[in-house]
Amino acid sequence: MSDIAMKFRSALDVEEYCDVELKLKSGSILKCHSVVLLMNSDFFRGRLQSRWITNEIPTIDCSMFPEDIVKYLSLSDE
């Protein structure tokens, strides 16, 4: 894993700089870094582009996707 990926993972582990929430199939909320999601997925890029205009933390419903895929895209080990 690259140094930058390890830094993102470490920040994610303590929910530092998380600026987006994903609602998972189980109903739980996964806090994430939007920049990681934007770089890894066209789905999230489309959902988050308008987010830069506001200061609110969006919650994206990802319950239609397998949780393992969502967690992989967000670099989460949770």
Domain ranges of the chain: 3-73
- Under CATH, to which class is 3-73 assigned? alpha beta
Tens digits of per-residue pLDDT, 35-45?
888 888 898 88
Helix locations, the chain, DSSP H: 3-13, 34-40, 42-48, 67-73
pLDDT of residue 26: 93
Q: Which two tokens stand for residue 54?
A: 């506001």
Tens digits of per-residue pLDDT, 7-31?
777 877 777 788 899 999 999 998 8
For the sheet with 59-61, list strands across it: 29-32, 20-23, 59-61
Q: Is the pTM of this model over 0.85?
A: no
